[in-house]
Amino acid sequence: MSSLESSLMPQEEILQSRSGVGRKLFHYAKPQKHLFLAAFCLLIIATLGNVIGPILIQRFIDNYLVPRKFPIQPIVSLTIIYLGLQCISAICQYNQLVMFQRAALRVIQQLRQDVFSHVQKLGLAFFDKTPGGTLISRITNDTEAILDLFVSVLSTFIQTIVQLTGIFIAMFYLDAKLALDCLFVAPLLIFINWLYRKISSKIFHVTRHRLSLLNAKMNESLQGMYVIQAMRQQTRLQKEFAYINNAYRSSRMRNIRVNGLMLRPLVDLVYFATLIVIIWFFGRNSLISAVNIGVLYAFVNYLEQFFEPVNNLMQRMNMFQQAMVSAQRVFHLLNEQQLAPQRESSQEQCSAQIYNGRVEFQNVTFSYDGKNPVLKNISFVAEPGQTVALVGHTGSGKSSIVSLLMRFYSIEQGEILIDGQRIESFENDELRKKIGLVLQDPFLFVGDVASNIRLGRFYISDEQVEEAVRFVQADRFIDKLPHGIHEPLGERGSTLSAGERQLLSFARTMAGNPKILILDEATASVDTETEEAIQEALARMRQGRTTIAIAHRLSTIQDADLILVLHHGEIVERGTHQQLLAKQGLYYKMYMLQSGSVTSIPPTPLATFHE
Ligand SMILES: Nc1ncnc2c1ncn2[C@@H]1O[C@H](COP(=O)(O)OP(=O)(O)OP(=O)(O)O)[C@@H](O)[C@H]1O
């Protein structure tokens, strides 16, 4: 549990990133300024209606009720004004609410879109260390919390300010001295507010972070359901989930305690203190002269009206704090600079183009963490149309070479050249268009067969899709599907077999007609029945294309023009299949092991463990 335990606290840098949050939120709200302004105006009218109401009643009590005079005309006018005011107030109240919601939803829509787009631009190095679930949490829960800021908090702030100003003016109008005495509440309320924000901020951060962890755990368990069930991991995951869930509950409880203690009770205390001041004031005055009942009514009414928005405001402080914390988290993500490598701006105006597909690595050294190199001094050339195979034990660096050629990561030392030009001079679009990658476990999207082959490249017609399907001989199974290339596929292509998914991904690659082909363990996950079709398809795909192939099964790459044998990130042997066999080195040993010519395998730590 220790790693889980240490993950329960948010990153220090997010806690520190408070500055500029308000400015950034304002920047997002700016395009909706007309809507916000209209909503504010309506809110002010609605609030003024509420403020003026008690003065009208005070007039009625002191001018007509207490002296027991009931002239019809002025009383009817007063009643009509009062009712009209309440009606206008209600209409404005409704419309300001709708307008605030509309403006806030637009702001959040834009923010969410920007976060999503920014996440798409981030490099794989970022995703290597950020769980997907925590990102989902920022895009959904956190942006939703910011929505509250615009809808509830902002409108309450404005409403409170207008209402309090109106109430104070009205109180001064009724009795300036008493109004001044009541002003002592202001510093008290400001102090309570400051104290609350100070205490609650850290707690909110922890709570939101734990909610992210909860989402991340949920996401992980859904993604890995196959392995979880196969390896009977349910109990372990349940325990881990329960642990985070419990931590989340306890920090929510802490929130509730802080809110419960600091919001309502403290403000109520100030309310009662002010009530005592008013009663004492009127009590003392009643000894000296006759008291105006209407003024007393209006003061007590205003006091209630005063503390209602203050209480509302304090309740909203809770939302405000949550929203600010969420905004900090969202903007921190928007500020994330680990972008996917881009074409260098110092290069010529036009992006370089790939025409022939000649690939050259010159003394490339690379590490993921900036400290421990996983590739050292890698140099090789793949001439146009040639096949270069990468072999080696697991973790020797084969996939890392492919990742560098796809420019998922930037290199630190050495050069990668394509058609003689540095890889940094190509737009990513050009690289991804001309380099076809076939992955070990192809990812299929929800949609039909054709959309999974086309992958948003709308210039590829149905005929071209079918051509690609035939080219890799995937028509053998696609023709049997009830709707052919328009057959819907389940999530991740769960309705197809591994071999069928692989053939489909071949077709996807061939539809783009790439110059360079990267086969990452392309034949590792298929059954023997499909193996032949796959090998045939691969042979056809490789024709006329530069191919970089990773293979564990050496039988599949015997015809490669060049085989590179990797060991701990270095090329330790190179040559053709025959040349490498003749060397009787690492490749020879691997080949002998795989072909079954060597029967005694030296004990591995795993084998020893099981003995
Ligand atoms: N995203 C990553 N972040 C940090 N280290 C990584 C990452 N990917 C791979 N590594 C490390 O780099 C080294 C080379 O890994 P790589 O995946 O290139 O090996 P490989 O030869 O392709 O292995 P396999 O045959 O098992 O796929 C390994 O030590 C691995 O732990």
Q: Does the structure show a pLDDT above 50 at 603?
A: no
Instruction: Tell me what pLDDT residue 1 has.
Output: 47
The minimum-distance atom of ligand 1 relative to the CA of 397 is 18
Q: List, for residues 88-109, the tens digit of each pLDDT value.
A: 988 998 898 888 888 888 988 8
Instruction: Tell me what pLDDT residue 5 has.
Output: 63
Range with top average pLDDT, 27-36, 156-165, 183-192, 437-446: 27-36
Contact 563, 576 (CB under 8 A): yes
User: Chain-centre distance of CA 379, in angstroms?
Assistant: 39
Write out the H or E segment, with its range, that includes residue 485: none
Q: Does the structure show a pLDDT above 50 at 611?
A: no
Sheet holding 570-575, edge to edge: 435-438, 516-520, 546-550, 387-392, 562-567, 570-575
Distance 408 CA to ligand 1 centre (A): 14
Q: What is d(CA 465, CA 482) in angstroms, rounded to the nearest whole number?
A: 17
The minimum-distance atom of ligand 1 relative to the CA of 403 is 18
Distance 569 CA to ligand 1 centre (A): 9
The minimum-distance atom of ligand 1 relative to the CA of 400 is 18
Q: Does the structure show a pLDDT above 90 at 302?
A: no
Is 515 touching ligand 1 by the criterion CB < 6 Å?
no
Distance 499 CA to ligand 1 centre (A): 25
Q: What is d(CA 37, CA 167) in angstroms, rounded to the nearest whole number?
A: 23
Q: What is d(CA 345, CA 347) in angstroms, rounded to the nearest whole number?
A: 5
Distance 316 CA to ligand 1 centre (A): 49
Q: List, for residues 145-179, the tens digit of each pLDDT value.
A: 888 887 777 777 777 777 778 777 877 877 777 77
Is 397 touching ligand 1 by the criterion CB < 6 Å?
yes
Position with higher pLDDT, 418 vs 348: 418
User: CATH code for 359-610?
Assistant: 3.40.50.300
Q: What is d(CA 216, CA 209) in angstroms, rounded to the nearest whole number?
A: 10
Residue written as tokens 């109430």?
A: 167
Give per-residue burial for 478-503: e unless 16+ CB within 10 Å, then b: beebeebbeeebeebbeebebbbbbb
Range with top average pLDDT, 55-59, 356-360, 443-447, 452-456: 356-360
Among 366, 396, 409, 586, which is best to mutate for testing ligand 1, by the most ligand atoms less than 8 A from CB? 396
Position with higher pLDDT, 12 vs 142: 142
The minimum-distance atom of ligand 1 relative to the CA of 369 is 4
Q: What is d(CA 136, CA 126) in angstroms, rounded to the nearest whole number?
A: 15
Q: List, for residues 592-602, the tens digit of each pLDDT value.
A: 887 765 544 44
Q: What is d(CA 485, CA 504) in angstroms, rounded to the nearest whole number?
A: 10
Sheet holding 373-382, edge to edge: 373-382, 359-367, 413-418, 421-422
Is 128 touching ligand 1 by the criterion CB < 6 Å?
yes
Q: For residue 370, what pLDDT band results from cuts at 50, 70 and 90?
A: confident
The minimum-distance atom of ligand 1 relative to the CA of 569 is 14
| Residue closest by Cα to atom 1 of ligand 1 | 128
3-state secondary structure of 438: strand
| Residue closest by Cα to atom 25 of ligand 1 | 394
Provide CB contacts within 8 A for 343, sequence distance 6+: 351, 424, 425, 426, 427, 428
Q: What is d(CA 601, CA 611) in angstroms, rounded to the nearest whole number?
A: 14
State the CATH class of domain 2-10+24-332: mainly alpha
Distance 105 CA to ligand 1 centre (A): 43
Q: Does the structure show a pLDDT above 70 at 272?
A: yes
Lowest mean pLDDT among 327-336, 515-524, 570-579: 515-524
Burial (CB < 10 A; 0-12, 13-18, 19+), residue 335, is: exposed
3-state secondary structure of 570: strand
Q: Does the structure show a pLDDT above 70 at 514?
A: yes
> Taking Cα atoms as reference points, which of 392, 420, 360, 288 lies closest to residue 546?
360
Return the half-sphere exposure (C-beta side, CA atoms, 13 A cut-off) of residue 315. 12
Lowest mean pLDDT among 360-374, 386-400, 459-473, 516-530: 516-530
3-state secondary structure of 500: helix
Distance 298 CA to ligand 1 centre (A): 76
Q: For residue 381, what pLDDT band results from cuts at 50, 70 and 90?
A: very high
Cα angle 78, 91, 48 (rounded to 5 degrees) comes to 55
Distance 374 CA to ligand 1 centre (A): 7
The minimum-distance atom of ligand 1 relative to the CA of 402 is 18
Is 376 touching ligand 1 by the criterion CB < 6 Å?
no
Q: Helix crossing, 293-334 with 264-288: angle to 10°?
A: 160
Averaged pLDDT score across all residues of the chain: 80
Q: What is d(CA 391, CA 595) in angstroms, rounded to the nearest whole number?
A: 15
Cα angle 195, 201, 205 (rounded to 5 degrees) comes to 165
3-state secondary structure of 610: helix
Contact 366, 352 (CB under 8 A): no
Distance 551 CA to ligand 1 centre (A): 15
Is 394 touching ligand 1 by the criterion CB < 6 Å?
yes
Cα angle 24, 28, 32 (rounded to 5 degrees) comes to 145
* Helix-strand-coil split of the chain, %, nearest 5: 65, 10, 25
Domain ranges (residues) in the chain: 2-10+24-332, 359-610
Is 395 touching ligand 1 by the criterion CB < 6 Å?
yes
